[in-house]
Chain A
Amino acid sequence: MSEDPIERGLAEAFGGGGVQRPVASVLRALQARANSILGVHLDAQDDDDAQVKVTDEVKALRDPSGRYQILGEIGRGGVGIVYKGRDSDLGRDVAMKVLKDEYADRPDVLARFVEEAQIGGQLQHPGIVPVYELGLHAGERPYFAMKLVKGETLAAQLARRSDPAQDRRRLLGIFEQVCQTMAYAHARRVIHRDLKPTNVMIGAFGEVQVIDWGFAKVMPKGGVADETESLTRASERSVIETVRSAPGSGSNSVAGSVLGTPAYTSPEQANGDVERMDRRSDVFGLGAILCEILTGEAPYREADGDLVRQAAMGALDGALERLRKCGADPALVTLCTECLARARRARPESAAEVAERVSAYLTSVEERAREAELRAAEARYRHRTTLLSTGVGLVVVMLAAGAWIWNADQAETRRAEAMQRVAGAMSTASGARGQAQAAGLDAVRWAAAVSSAEQVVALTDSVDVDANARAEAESLLGRIRSESWDAEAEAQRLERDARMRERLVEVRIPIEDQLRVDGWEERESRRLDAEYASAFTEYLGGESLLEMSIESTLESMRLGDIEVELSTSLDHWFLTRQNLPDSGVLSYRTGTARIRELAMLLDPNEHWRSRLRDLLPDAYGAVAELRRLADEADFESLTPAGCHVLSEALCQAGDKPATVRVLRRAQELHPQDFDLCYGLAMHLELLPEPDWQGALDTYRIAHALKPEHKSALHRQGVALENLGRHADAEQVFRRGLARDPTDSHLMRHVGVALAAQGRSEAAMDFFQRALEAAPGEADSYKMIGAQFLEAGRFDEAIETYYSAIVLAPTLAVHHFNLGTALLEAGENEAAVQSLQRALELDPRYASAHANLGNALSNLNDMDRAAASYERALELGLEDSWIHFNLGNSLRRLGKPRKAAESFERAIECYARALEIQPNHARTHHNLGVTLEAVGRFEDAIESYRNALDADPQLGSSRRRLMRLEGADDLEEVLTGRREAESSDQWDVAVLIGCQAGRWAEVVTLTEETLSRSPELIDSGSSWGAYNPACAAALLAADSSSGTTADERARVRHLALTWLARESERWQVWIAEGGDRAALAGERLAQAASDPDFASVRDDALEELPAAERDAWEELWSEIGRARGEGRR
């Protein structure tokens, strides 16, 4: 072979098999050596060549140099043409089946053609046309030469009859030979698969042959297949089309088909269940032939509708009715009816049995005929004797004397006859017993055997036989009954095991309606718990495993052959119950312990499984040992369920990567196991860094394995969503929804995909539809709440989340969502309560810790805020914002060293975020803020510049940059030595003043700027006069500053005026809608709870003069109303 890979590829692409040379005449070659004419020529038989046609194709095929001379066409089949040919070497006529030219390039057809020849060549029986040779005619056309059978088909003979009863005896003789031929083929494990009258040839000398083995199949083990591997080595075989793969196809004998001929086809064959076809399918074909012999018609008639449909449905009522009325011997009708049974198991086992019964029938007919003849002779004799006796009185006397002797003889004769009948019946019953034993656990056969033996016993009761015969009959009946019960018990046991095995596989398949909606794990565990309980109860004959004694449970379980499967499933059941919250009920705990104990007792000796079992009660604490077990596991000896248990234990131990490794290996070894495939995909999602692409690919395989499993499709949508392919995700979910238009989960997912594409209204529509479809599902409220939250409609979001909590009060996520909405709405105390409730339900809820930190931070509870952020980080929520907020919290708590550490961590996180998304302006900005906090001003300046490069409109970065780069100018602006040149400059100067507590300067600067150039204050989306209002409120509250009460009142008035001014501006933003509306909502919330206004709010107002107090109260009330508007 070439080492050049392209050459190898080209050889595959363009190389054909070796060129085969034509089969040349051996005779001609030998004649040259023999120097004489070789050959013997016998007298030819009388030929009837009337049916042989000499066509243009025949002329074209003639090859004078070849061994076979084609004389004419005899007939055509699906893939081949049968010619009459002459073997010039052996001087005989042959039939040559030549592959049709159009199939020359069809390797599948070619393979089947060769198979037909090989089967014919190897089956040596007078009832099968011998194949002489396989070759290539003229070097091109594959052919095989076989004996030329001269005669006609059984179909032709049947068609000639004017009455079905006509010629029946002779035809049954032919049928008997067909059965015997098929018995031989079956013994060689070959099944014909297209038995019908046209495939039975009756030769000129009465020889009967079964022809056309084009659809024949070699059954596994033994027979022809073992004698030569050539059949199984053929590189390419046919793709067999069946009724199932080609709906509506009613044609027969198409290329490469096992459709057979519908009028004679068994139900399994017509349904395309080719793997279920066996000898009994041929038995059906024999029944069909017999049916036509007896009734004159095939089992299915075109007059009754589509033949294929009739055959597929086994619509035999008409045929059975015709059989009942055909007038044939009941034994034949019964045999035919049994052969035509819809269920294979109800048919005779093989052609041999049919042959035997037909032979027995024909023999009995002959015997009956002979007996009838004997009876007639006896009657004639008695008649003559009577005449003599009336004439001779002496004879009368002699008769009287000998009468008792005659009577005694008669009794003896009757007893002998009875004994003979009993012996025959015993023999029949023994035969039935033998057949039942051979069939193994076939209940029908055993029932027949019992019935047969019962008939013998009944016979011994009704006739005059001796006691020994009766005892023998009863003994036989007892033995058969006992064996029948054993067989029945064994069959039941096997069936019970098989059912349980299938059930356990089904149990492991995750529920269909889960789409990782909240709480699905618990629901799944509860389902598994219930399903395992039910499966084991059924297996134990209706008794609960948790209530039976250990001993009797084990005894019952050990009756079967599936101890390993059972113990592995018990392990899984045990793990499942470990997943469920402990109900505290003692019986539940003892039940769980019982399950584990049973698993251990049932499978005590396998070391690896025992070690795994030991670790299951505390998988979390045994992670290292579990990993070792996984490394040592001999996966190839593990069942899918065993792999599942190991992966589940690792999952419970929290080692997700190891879980995935185990599942990946298991899935490679058991690619057909849906549960492992689906589980792998699920765990790829659950990795610390989810492998969404891997999950998507694996879900696709799972979907291919089990297309009806909804989640395997739906999870593809989820993976696509996470890969950012929202439009693709939407399409997948819509596909699922098309299959089940009432699926509320899918409606929500379509909504989520739409929302991700910015189609909020359409998304909301789907969420509402989901809510209508399933009003009891909290998830719809969750999604609607998220939409409200996104739109800044906080009150509606809060209300919606409350509804979710009412429906599912124990799910942490709903409390988290409510807390988040409250946080967004500025209701920090309520937010803290909700988030704490979420954490009570799920203490490892990292996002809830983070948001709790935000709420506490807003409430100035920095100590607890910092603790919450730290916990969120511990739980793996690596978000740069959390580092940043934690740093701020710690800084404000006066813990500079620790704060610096947090800032450094925040800087690292930002750097990582920027590696992923280098142009994210806010990240640059926040990095700058953090760098500034640790004194790295030059780096901060660079970060702000990067932020402004990414988003030139980012005012906060611009102002920060200005502050860092133009500190002197800003100081001059703040102290009033120069006028602000821009809105940003004014804003930053005010910010610096506020941060430094220089309230008086801020107030003065603001008063002057408002009088001189108010446009500087109102520009863009800046905070405007809000910070000066804060400064004024703080200045007025500071009685230690040495200012007078009047002065403080004046400054308070300024605070009131400026805050009112900003409040009005924000209300305009809300009225306008859009992004600024949300911003306005946030600012109103901040103002309402801002501690800077503590001296002019709530109880503090009592200290103020009435007019002033009223003005402030009116303002706060106005702000409250505006917030309400904003939420709506």
Chain B
Amino acid sequence: MEVPHNPDVSWSLIARAAAGERGARSVFARGYLPVVRSFLEARWRSTRLAGEVDDAVQEVFIECLRENGVLSSADPERGDLRGLLYGVTRKVAARFEERVRKRHSRDQATGSMLDAVQAREPSLSIVFDREWARTLMRLTGDRMRANAEGGTPGARLRVELLRLRFAEGMPIRAIAAQWEQDPDAVHRAYAKARAEFKSCLREVVAEHAVRSEVDLDREVERVFELLG
């Protein structure tokens, strides 16, 4: 079964970003920056490249967004944005590491340090995946907030409920007291907000690659698992 596709996010954003639209570039870069940064920081922790993270992050986005760059050839029909971004990030990381190797070709310490980076590759992909999962969660939150803005007062209330619950750390009972509402009613609203969140997350995950329902369910579960 085909999953309905919302054309207004992810790939259309990428298309606009690839076409050079500044706003879209900025949104794209900000949206996916944490993934790239976390991966590079983890990869280069305790290495002499730790101070290069900023520039490498920039390089990744330049690779993606420049004219005829990676994004311009990305295919929304079969696209896997995660894979694409992961590939580019690792490519840029490797380029930086190679430069350091060349610069310090006879520095044994540097060599072994960067070899250690390579040895940690498998665990580093977990870092990338975890941050990717967190990014998807954030995008889902953004979407819920956007939906709520144009939605019913109930929807706005549910978003506020989630904010109080998770940003302010308030228990449901305290929220109910603050709102002068029956705690059961707030609990029900919370259950509905959770369901809305999961539904939004499915949409976001679908827009990032997955097509069939079965795959989608599996991927949503995987994204939750990746959060660790």
Contacts and interface: CB of A to CB of B under 8 A. Distances in A.
B167 A5 contact: no
A1111 interface: no
B105 interface: yes
Contacts of B73: 703-704, 707, 713
Interface string B36-51: 0110010001001111
Given A245-B66, A672-B90, A707-B69, 20 more contacts: A10-B165, A13-B138, A14-B167, A15-B167, A219-B51, A220-B50, A235-B34, A237-B53, A238-B54, A239-B26, A239-B58, A244-B62, A246-B22, A275-B99, A671-B91, A672-B91, A697-B80, A701-B84, A704-B73, A713-B73
Contacts of B227: 5, 8-9, 12
Given A5-B227, A275-B55, A700-B78, A12 B138 contact: yes
Nearest to B94: A672
Interface string A222-253: 00010000011101111110101111000000
Given A14-B167, A239-B30, A245-B65, A6 B48 contact: no
A980 interface: no
B225 interface: yes
B30 A108 contact: yes
A9 B55 contact: no
Contacts of A11: 166
Contacts of B45: 232
Interface string A634-652: 0010000000000000000
Interface in B9-42: 22, 25-26, 29-30, 33-34, 37-38, 41
Nearest to A713: B73
A949 B62 CA distance: 59
A705 interface: yes
Interface string A10-42: 111111100100000000000000000000000
Interface in B166-190: 166-168
Contact of B198 (A6, A106, A233, A700): A6
B61 A239 contact: yes
Nearest to A696: B78
Contacts of B162: 10, 13-14
Contact of A13 (B25, B41, B51, B144): B144
A1005 interface: no
Nearest to B200: A13
**Prevailing SS type, chain B contact patch:** helix
B87 A701 contact: yes
A728 B77 contact: yes
A790 to B, nearest CB: 29
Given A14-B163, A700-B78, A272 B134 contact: no
Contacts of A218: 51
Contacts of A9: 137, 140, 197, 201, 223-224, 227
Nearest to A490: B106
A221 interface: yes
Contacts of B218: none
Contacts of A782: none
Contacts of B197: 6, 9-10, 13
27 contacts: A5-B224, A9-B140, A9-B227, A12-B138, A13-B137, A13-B138, A14-B159, A14-B163, A14-B165, A16-B167, A225-B50, A233-B41, A237-B37, A237-B53, A239-B29, A246-B22, A275-B56, A494-B105, A668-B121, A669-B118, A669-B121, A671-B86, A671-B87, A704-B70, A704-B74, A704-B88, A728-B77
Interface string B184-228: 000000000010011001000000000000000000000111010
B1 interface: no
A275 B119 contact: no
A245 B61 contact: yes
A12 B134 contact: yes
B34 A232 contact: no
Nearest to A233: B41
A757 to B, nearest CB: 17
A239 B57 contact: yes
Question: What 9 pairs across the A-B complex have the smallest Cβ distances?
Answer: A13-B141, A5-B224, A12-B137, A672-B94, A220-B51, A14-B166, A15-B166, A239-B29, A240-B58
Contacts of B168: 19
B78 A697 contact: yes
A9 B49 CA distance: 31
Contact of A236 (B33, B58, B94): B33
B4 interface: no
Nearest to B162: A14
B75 interface: yes
A494 B105 CA distance: 9
Contacts of A247: 67
Interface in A490-547: 494, 497-498
B153 interface: no
Given A14-B165, A696-B78, A705 B87 contact: yes
Contacts of A697: 78, 80, 83
Contacts of B167: 14-16
Nearest to A720: B78
Nearest to A231: B51
Contacts of B106: 561
A970 to B, nearest CB: 50
A815 interface: no
Interface of A: 5-6, 8-16, 19, 106-108, 189, 217-221, 225, 231-233, 235-240, 242, 244-247, 272, 274-275, 494, 497-498, 561, 636, 668-672, 696-697, 700-701, 703-705, 707, 713, 728
Contact of A636 (B84, B105, B119, B140): B119
A15 B227 CA distance: 14
A497 B197 CA distance: 56
A40 to B, nearest CB: 41
Contacts of A704: 70, 73-74, 84, 87-88
B111 to A, nearest CB: 11
Contacts of A272: 62
Nearest to B51: A220
Contacts of B93: 672
Contacts of B122: 668
A235 B52 CA distance: 14
Contacts of B67: 247
A242 B99 CA distance: 21
B225 A561 contact: no
A424 B165 CA distance: 76
A758 to B, nearest CB: 22
Counting chain A CB atoms within 10 Å of each CB, the highest count among B33, B45, B58, B134 belongs to B58
Given A13-B141, A13-B197, A240 B54 contact: yes
Contacts of A238: 54
A242 to B, nearest CB: 7
A238 B56 CA distance: 11
B52 A220 contact: yes
Nearest to A111: B54
B102 A498 contact: yes
B20 to A, nearest CB: 8
A636 B91 contact: no
A818 B225 CA distance: 58
Nearest to B33: A239
B198 A14 contact: no
A668 B163 CA distance: 40
Contact of B95 (A237, A242, A636, A672): A672
Nearest to A275: B55
Nearest to B52: A220
Nearest to A17: B167
A232 B166 contact: no
Contacts of B37: 235-237
Given A232-B50, A707-B73, A13 B90 contact: no
A14 B167 CA distance: 6
A218 B61 CA distance: 21
Interface in B88-127: 88, 90-91, 93-96, 99, 102, 105-106, 118-119, 121-122
A232 B166 CA distance: 27
B68 interface: yes
